Amino acid sequence: MNATSKIWRDRHGVCHVEGEDKTSVFEWMGYAHGKDRGMQILLMRILGQGRASEILDSSDEILAIDTFFRRMNWTGDTASQIEKLTPEAKNIVEAYCHGVNRAFSEKIPWECRLFGYKPEPWLIEDSILIARMIGYLTLAQSQGEMERFLIELVQAGMDEIRLNELFPDILGGLDIELIKQIKLQERLVPPTSLWNIAVPVMMASNNWAVSGKKTRSGKPVLANDPHLEVNRLPNVWYEMALKIGDTYAIGGTMPGAPALLVGRNPDLAWSATYTFMDGTDSWIEKCKEGKYFREPDKWMKFIERKEIIKRKKKDPVTVTFYENNHGVLEGNPNQEGYYIATAWAPAFSGAVTLNSIVEIIDAKTVSQGMDLLGRIETSWNLILADKEGNIGYQMSGLMPKRREGISGFVPLPGWEKKNDWQGFEDCRDLPRSYNPECGYLVTTNQNLNQYGNVNPINVGMGPYRSDRIEGLLAEKSDIDCEYMYKLHYDVYSTQAESFMAILSSMLPDSRQAAILKNWNFEYSADSEGAFLFDRFYKQLYRDVFGHHGFGTDVVDQLDQHTGIFNDFYINFDRILLSETSSWFGGRTREEIYRQAAEKALKSVPEKWGKARKVILKNIVFDGKLPKFLGFDRGPITIIGSLATPHQGQIFESAGRLTTFAPSFRMVTDLSTDEIHTNMAGGPSDRRFSKWYCSDLENWITGKYKKIDVEPDPEKQMF
């Protein structure tokens, strides 16, 4: 860190860094992450390395978590990734690590003393690990869970007619009799233990951009609001303003990763949401005596990877993983049978992603940005806008090349070579769009295959959020930042509107029915209509997919304890909105709707927000400390639903309440040199810092702070 570099906070506590070049600025970024979010990044590394049993807690639940991370092996093959870094990227990542370590040399988080943990130096390998974790956990992971759900349905006896209706056009290669023979090691019902400490739980997001022909300023306006778990402190995001010589970059970072993931420079703004690209495949392996079968008559030995998991005050546990060209086997091949091996395409990625993210800070046009960000190995929907007036959309991610007619959703025989991946698709063939005639681009995790030469998405979220946002953008021609703020907080549900168009005329003459019939389709905190519709919608699920599908107990389990219905609701909604369906069990849609409404309307109306209050819990202590100590905050009310632009999901996962809502909101007008943001938390993970939760009130009330690189008369020491 040279003498001309500076670091300070603005009046909102946001970290500002000034330096002559990117290397010095990223070194300060590492220092800021280590100082403000040191415990967050250390916990992320501990979990990613599968060392939680050794350092944090030796319970059986934590052992299961360590086993999961050891299975994923994200600490593997990092040396080859480091070799692939460009000289500039390597210098920057090394500088970032030096900054983190400088912060830790000054002071390590006091919680480390509670665990008896002295942190090892932060290395490039650790940032590669974080990049892999960010791209998989609860994102690509949910795709794998949906594919597992298919196997469970087949093994439960679900017929092919209903399967094809639930998963249309993606069941190529389905062999029901073979799938029934698979020995599954883990079940979604009930779910396995999940981690609940530092790992960011991510699921959805919105981002959109409007060209200058529809804005008040005449320049593009871009908005982003990543939907992550918000009932945690600190927030996943860490905002920074970087001044690099005569230029700048402002936006959101994730501690542990040397990157400005969303934000802008003087010429270009970029934003991200997750796309449900199918980059996770499973193959059925025929196994015996520690070997797997390959046509025509070969039996090949698995590679055995032994992992020793140390445990606090307990004996270590040795876990053996069996690997082949299809990934890691789920099961013991010494016991004869059929098992599945699973691989995630970007499992051993990192270098190309870091190279691209380092360069984006210098990009000036949407075309340059699309080219750079399209190379990112994990899967994202990137929307960009530039000062010249252009807007663009680009999907990123390693999409496996598969044989014709195969989507990747169905597990296929591993012994047939034709089922192997044939490399990866060119990112220029992935969905993308440049300056559309309508003047706007919107992604909300919906199916965007129509914009590409290949079809990366098998199952995704519904189009309800994008339909609403697109409708509001289409009807206005003088859009400004304030209009974008309103869209961020919009709780209107086009999903509810679709169902109510069918249900409304069937409703009886009663007080509850009148509330529902007169409802404005908004999931505001004081809405009784939202409460009653939610009761109806969930009853519909129980009646259709419970009584004539999975069983009501399974439906309740999936609804309350997994993300299956929360993430992939469009697969189920298509059936519920159909006039006829094999899932209706011979009943008419009208009969089903009337019966579900009759049951739902017996509920005493409540305000939507009454049961939607959550506590923001500290990631280390997770609600175990007395409230008066101030580590936890709230309760806060989560508005919206799973299908409103302001997404508001609450459900239990592995015995822990989790949420998906806009964790961080960002709006920028390219006619200015500033961004406007708020977030559910604050800059610091230090409970006794004034910046621990300093932005929460803005986040709740809809106020946005301005971040730029101009001198701040109220700036403070860092």
Q: Are residues 596 and 672 in the same domain?
A: no
pLDDT for the residue numbered 69 = 92
Domain assignment of residue 120, given as a range: 6-130+236-262+667-717
Residue 492 bridge partners (DSSP): 522
The mean per-residue pLDDT over the stretch 461-483 comes to 96
Segment among 132-146, 609-623, 636-650 with least mean pLDDT: 132-146
Given 600, 620, 644, the domain boundary residue is 600
Per-residue pLDDT tens digits for 300-358: 999 999 999 999 999 999 999 999 999 999 999 999 999 999 999 999 999 999 999 99
Residue 43 CA from chain centroid, whole number: 19
Contact by Cβ (8 Å): 133, 554: no
Q: Are residues 596 and 671 in the same domain?
A: no
> Is 626 a member of any domain?
no
Confidence of residue 280 (pLDDT cuts 50, 70, 90): very high
Per-residue pLDDT tens digits for 508-565: 999 999 999 999 999 999 999 999 999 999 999 999 998 777 888 888 877 777 777 8
> Is 547 a member of any domain?
yes
In the numeric block, the tokens 């939610």 are attached to 534
Phi and psi at 425, nearest 5°, equal -70, 150
Residues with Cβ within 8 Å of residue 251, at least 6 apart in sequence? 239, 240, 260, 261, 262, 263, 264, 666, 675
How high does pLDDT run on average in the chain?
A: 93
Confidence of residue 115 (pLDDT cuts 50, 70, 90): very high
What's the CA gap between 580 and 599, in Å, rounded?
22
pLDDT for the residue numbered 393 = 98
What's the CA gap between 268 and 250, in Å, rounded?
11
Contact by Cβ (8 Å): 203, 567: yes
Q: Are residues 112 and 254 in the same domain?
A: yes
For the chain, give me the number of helices (H) and strands (E)?
Answer: 23, 29
Per-residue pLDDT tens digits for 11-53: 999 999 999 999 999 999 999 999 999 999 999 999 999 999 9
What's the CA gap between 548 and 540, in Å, rounded?
12
pLDDT for the residue numbered 118 = 95
Per-residue pLDDT tens digits for 415-449: 999 999 999 999 999 999 999 999 999 999 999 99
Better pLDDT: 276 or 382 = 382
Phi and psi at 567, nearest 5°, equal -90, -45
Q: 3-class SS at 546?
A: helix
Residue 196 in this model has a pLDDT that exceeds 50: no
Residue 202 in this model has a pLDDT that exceeds 60: no
Given 570, 600, 630, the domain boundary residue is 600
Number of domains in the chain: 2
pLDDT for the residue numbered 194 = 37
> Is 404 a member of any domain?
no
Q: What single string gives the DSSP state of each residue in 121-187?
A: PP-HHHHHHHHHHHHIIIIIHHHHHHHHHHHHHHHTT--HHHHHHHSTT--TT--HHHHHTB--S--
> Is 150 a member of any domain?
no
Q: For the chain, what percent of residues have pLDDT higher than 90?
A: 85
pLDDT for the residue numbered 193 = 36
Q: Are residues 571 and 695 in the same domain?
A: no
Going 17 to 19 to 23 to 28, the CA torsion angle's sign is negative
> Is 677 a member of any domain?
yes
> Is 525 a member of any domain?
yes
Given 575, 600, 625, the domain boundary residue is 600
Q: Are residues 595 and 713 in the same domain?
A: no
Better pLDDT: 553 or 642 = 642
Q: In this structure, what CATH number is given to the domain that contains residue 682?
A: 1.10.439.10
Q: What single string gives the DSSP state of each residue in 412-472?
A: EETT-GGGS---B--GGGSSEEES-TTSEEEESS---GGGSSS--BSS---SHHHHHHHHH
> Is 465 a member of any domain?
no
The mean per-residue pLDDT over the stretch 177-197 comes to 65
Phi and psi at 410, nearest 5°, equal -100, 135
Q: Are residues 584 and 687 in the same domain?
A: no
What's the CA gap between 36 and 32, in Å, rounded?
6
Closest CA to 137 of 256, 291, 16: 256
What's the CA gap between 525 and 491, in Å, rounded?
10
The mean per-residue pLDDT over the stretch 563-582 comes to 90
> Is 312 a member of any domain?
no
Q: Are residues 701 and 573 in the same domain?
A: no
pLDDT for the residue numbered 190 = 37
Q: Are residues 26 and 102 in the same domain?
A: yes
Q: Are residues 545 and 687 in the same domain?
A: no
pTM recorded for the entire structure:
0.95
Q: Are residues 553 and 674 in the same domain?
A: no
Residue 200 in this model has a pLDDT that exceeds 90: no
Q: Are residues 126 and 23 in the same domain?
A: yes
Per-residue pLDDT tens digits for 55-110: 999 999 899 889 989 999 999 999 999 999 999 999 999 999 999 999 999 999 99
In the numeric block, which tokens belong to residue 254?
């994730």
pLDDT for the residue numbered 441 = 98
Q: Are residues 12 and 96 in the same domain?
A: yes
pLDDT for the residue numbered 199 = 56
